[in-house]
Chain A
Amino acid sequence: MLAIAILAALFIVLPLLSMGWYTTFGDLASTFTNPAVDLSIYLTMLSGGLAALVCVLIGVPAGYYLARTSGLATKLLGSVLELPIMIPHFVVGIALLLFAPFIFQSLIGVVAVMVFVGLSYTVKAAESSFVELGDGYEKAAQTLGSSPMKAFFSVVFPMSARPIAGGALLSWARGISEMGAFLVLAYFVSPISPILPAATNPMSIYAYQVYQLYGVRGAATVSIVYVLVAMAVFVAAKYANGWKEIFVRYSVGE
């Protein structure tokens, strides 16, 4: 078992490490300080953060509803909120573009794509957390004089905050790794003063453009930069308690 686990880990790590053969510390440093790359990272992190916030604002109430109700409507809603996982990413871009053409090449478009592909993670994390917590705490709080809303915000949400944060971080990670939908909807994002000073690409699109211009070896350096950024997200996620459990639950579709 251990051998298989190590092999699986190597399958992930070795290709990533192999990119290191095609770059130098000097190239990495200059890429990190390249204003175009930095702007691309900034756009991706900003839109990723906004998307994660939207995922929490939508996903927590939705997850609460799914956790506390049953019946056809709940099942239908739960299935719909899981749909983005199975939709090809390119199709997500086409669907969003046809639905809301005015978000083409805009920051809102980037955020919309990230929310679309990442919302399921927050919803599922919140739902699992609320199911596991049960309704006993909110009932206890209500009998102690708290309205349902106060009981939720003073007891239920704080007690579920860590798993929900873990889910939101997964949504964020999923959003910043998106590419297919950006290729259709938001591959060159228009500036918005003063939030976004110049036009730029999401990270994945930027790396793709470098690859088109300079080939596989030429794209290695910027790819490493983006992998390091993505790793930073996951390290943060790891220290949000309970993220592993959420990930496992989500992956087995509970």
Chain B
Amino acid sequence: MDLHLDSVTVRRGDFVLGPISYRMRSEGSKMIAVVGPNGAGKSTLLDAIAGLVPLDMGTITINGKLVSSLPAHRRGIGYVLQRPYLFANMSVEKNVLYGAADSGYAAGMMSTMGIAHLGQRRPQTLSGGEQQRVSIARALAMKPSMLLLDEPFSHLDPEMQEELGERLGELIKTEGVSAIYVTHSFDALYAMADMVLFIDGGRLCETVTGSVSTIDGRPRTRRFAELLGYRNFIRCSVVQSAGGVLSLAAGDLRLEGLGDAPVGSSVLLALRPEDITISMTSRARASQRNIVQARVTELRRMGPLMRLRLRHEDSGTELLALITSGSLVSLGVNEGSMVYAIFKTAAAHVIQG
């Protein structure tokens, strides 16, 4: 697959997407996840690739073909939108056949998606999951050169999201079609991504190639880190750097994190609330090099967990930690308690700037 976005710019009222430049060349099919907060421009980018919004500037080339000069119906790009948009004036079978390359292939796609028995039904009589299966089968039946997926499972329950995500991921690999997948949650399909594009405020902020674990471990901007679930950001200065481990100082606090930054520079240490262990003593395992004595200033229930707001009194550093209700009771933690917040160096990531 060869995807080349060259200075792609789209204006929609006050919102401007781009200019975005990105090139991905690889053998075989690839799955690209596009992540970003709501309103970042993820769907606009997909609309632009599909030809549903005109480019104000730039070009889009797929496998050497300049598709940005073609109308949407001549691009050969499959698009599964957030809603299935099944045509209510046709049966399920006719929906799948609507843009199909050939009827036999479409029938095979219906079988693969487990909807062959629904062929004569009207779309409006199907469940949400069934409708989205039809939508996916319909998009794949046209043998697209690329498949665009705009949060296709966002209206489904979590179990259905996982099941369909896995099935679609396998199907994409089997069919050998490259896909660009927009999401702001981290579901089964996201886990299969070969690379991630992080878009924020209409700009392409980060591109990360690699497995999902690599992606999660290397947020380079605070916004991307927030999207990945990091809630603690501690302003530090770099004291020492050795082998990818940085020794940091935040006032009187001495901390360690993973990253790369010059000694003396100001950085942010990013940390997820769930990576913090709460203890009443300062004893920690060998890998837990960061120990912060702090006072509990707030306790709040967050679903099955309790969120603790902690304050290191000398430096004024605040931390959020998540623990189970059972742990809270067994530790005897209350608002005002002094506790130790302990976390591993591997869980703390340094963001420059």
Chain A interface (Cβ within 8 Å of chain B)?
Answer: 136-137, 139-148, 150-151, 154-155, 158-159
Contact = CB atoms under 8 A, between A and B. Distances in A.
- Residue of B79, B89, B138 contacting most chain A CB atoms (<10 Å): B89
Given A136-B83, A142-B71, A151-B73, 17 more contacts: A137-B85, A139-B52, A140-B81, A141-B98, A142-B52, A142-B72, A143-B50, A143-B52, A143-B73, A144-B98, A144-B139, A145-B76, A146-B99, A147-B71, A154-B87, A158-B89, A159-B89
B136 to A, nearest CB: 12
Given A145-B99, A147-B73, A155-B87, A139 B142 contact: no
A136 B85 contact: yes
Contacts of A145: 73-74, 76, 99, 142
A155 B89 contact: yes
B142 to A, nearest CB: 6
Given A146-B73, A147-B73, A141 B87 contact: yes
A158 B75 CA distance: 25
B87 A143 contact: no
A154 B99 CA distance: 12
A137 B98 CA distance: 12
A207 to B, nearest CB: 41
A144 B79 CA distance: 8
Interface string B36-60: 0000000000000011100000000
B77 interface: yes
Interface in B79-100: 79, 81, 83, 85, 87-89, 98-99
26 contacts: A136-B81, A136-B83, A136-B85, A139-B52, A139-B72, A139-B81, A139-B85, A140-B135, A142-B71, A142-B72, A143-B51, A143-B72, A143-B75, A143-B78, A143-B99, A144-B98, A144-B99, A144-B142, A145-B74, A146-B73, A146-B99, A147-B71, A148-B73, A154-B98, A155-B89, A159-B87
Contacts of B78: 143-144
Nearest to B53: A139
